[in-house]
């Protein structure tokens, strides 16, 4: 027994949390004995956790592999995410995972940025690696806290999104029709008509087209969404599918045509310019921002608000509600002020 009452009225504690580790003590009351027993068990468990934590010599690459097997493989971008994590692990020198520090990652981040990598990309790296530690801690694969939990993403200046003008759209479509790839033109029309991503249009099947609506499945957000399209486009898609049986991978063809255009796009922009073009023209012509969110499939309104400044009435209240709006005319500069200038 762990606690025994002695003939003289005192209480003896004899507790063995694990074999080979025993604590003994004699106390005046049973309450003291119970508290001592609980204290021994709790302290020993913590000591055991600390000991196991110190002995955890697994390298980051091993934890990434465990994370992928237990969780990562179920993500929509599983293969891409794993490749990104493996490359990140190698760049960090594949340290013992427990020994990785915020300073280690900050140095890695600075090196990436100095080599021309975008801040948004290194912020994603931080997010992905933190997610690995958090998930493994939740699964009790590791018993130590996330070493990157206090490291903040870098702030960066948001740039205005580029989009094609009507003249540029016309030039692009004419070149696409003579590209030699029969799929690239109709895929582009779908993107410009619905704001979908290139891969979403490319992966469409006959079941995704009905009642003059295109239904997108396997989206980035994981949600199904449908967007109305013109009868003319529906007829074109159906005719194309009857001839070719569907679409094939055509992004490379689109990039080659884009390179022949007289206009140039910002670095990193290619097929995604079609999505930006749809959204920008939608807002410029008075489209509702909440409706646009549903069409694009954004999980939150924050992403959609990047297009809000293009609305014809965006912040027009500044003209009527500013403190000078009630003035019949603006006060002119007096002669002394003009001389000083």
Catalytic residues: 197, 220, 272, 275, 298, 307
Check if the beta carbon of residue 63 is closer than 8 Å to that of residue 141.
yes
Instruction: Name beta bridge partners: 219.
Output: none
CA distance 101 to 150: 10
Q: Which of 198, 204, 191, 208 is nearest to 295 (CA)?
A: 191
Check if the beta carbon of residue 42 is closer than 8 Å to that of residue 35.
no
Q: SS3 of 164, please?
A: coil
Residue for token digits 């063809």? Answer: 253
Instruction: Name beta bridge partners: 18.
Output: 21
Q: SS3 of 109, please?
A: helix
* Region for residue 29 given its phi and psi (left: phi exceeds 0; alpha: psi -120 to 50; beta: otherwise): beta
Q: Which of 277, 301, 274, 272 is nearest to 289 (CA)?
A: 301
Angle (CA) 284 289 291, round 5°: 115
Check if the beta carbon of residue 282 is closer than 8 Å to that of residue 193.
no
Instruction: Name beta bridge partners: 226.
Output: 215
Q: Which two tokens stand for residue 183?
A: 């799929």
CA distance 64 to 165: 45
Q: Which two tokens stand for residue 144?
A: 């130590």
């Amino acid at each position: 027994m762990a606690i025994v009452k002695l003939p003289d009225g005192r209480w003896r504690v004899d507790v063995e949390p694990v074999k080979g580790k025993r604590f003994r003590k004699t106390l005046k009351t049973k309450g003291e004995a119970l508290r001592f027993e609980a204290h021994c068990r709790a302290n020993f468990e913590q000591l055991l956790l600390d000991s196991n934590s110190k002995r955890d010599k697994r390298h980051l690459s091993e934890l990434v592999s465990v994370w992928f097997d237990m969780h990562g493989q179920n993500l929509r971008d599983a293969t891409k995410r794993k490749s990104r994590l493996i490359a990140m692990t190698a760049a960090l020198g594949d340290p013992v995972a427990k020994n990785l520090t915020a300073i280690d990652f900050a140095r890695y981040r600075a090196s990436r940025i100095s080599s021309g990598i975008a801040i948004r990309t290194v912020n994603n790296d931080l997010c992905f690696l933190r997610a690995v530690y958090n998930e493994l801690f939740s699964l009790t694969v590791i018993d130590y806290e996330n070493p990157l939990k206090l490291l903040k993403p870098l702030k960066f200046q948001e740039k205005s999104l580029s989009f094609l003008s009507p003249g540029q759209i016309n030039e692009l479509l004419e070149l696409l029709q003579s590209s030699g790839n029969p799929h690239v033109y109709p895929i582009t029309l779908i993107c410009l008509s619905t704001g979908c991503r290139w891969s979403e249009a490319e992966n469409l099947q006959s079941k995704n087209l009905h009642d003059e609506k295109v239904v997108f499945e396997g989206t980035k957000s994981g949600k199904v969404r449908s967007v109305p399209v013109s009868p003319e486009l529906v007829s074109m898609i159906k005719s194309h599918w009857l001839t070719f049986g569907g679409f094939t991978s055509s992004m490379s063809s689109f990039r080659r045509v884009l390179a022949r255009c007289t206009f140039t796009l910002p670095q990193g922009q290619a097929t995604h310019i079609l999505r930006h073009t749809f959204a920008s023209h939608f807002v410029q012509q008075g489209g509702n921002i909440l409706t646009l969110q549903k069409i694009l499939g954004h999980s939150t309104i924050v992403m959609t608000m990047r297009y809000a400044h293009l609305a014809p009435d965006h912040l027009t209240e500044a003209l009527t509600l500013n403190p000078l709006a009630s003035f019949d005319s603006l006060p002119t500069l007096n002669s002394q002020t003009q001389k000083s200038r």
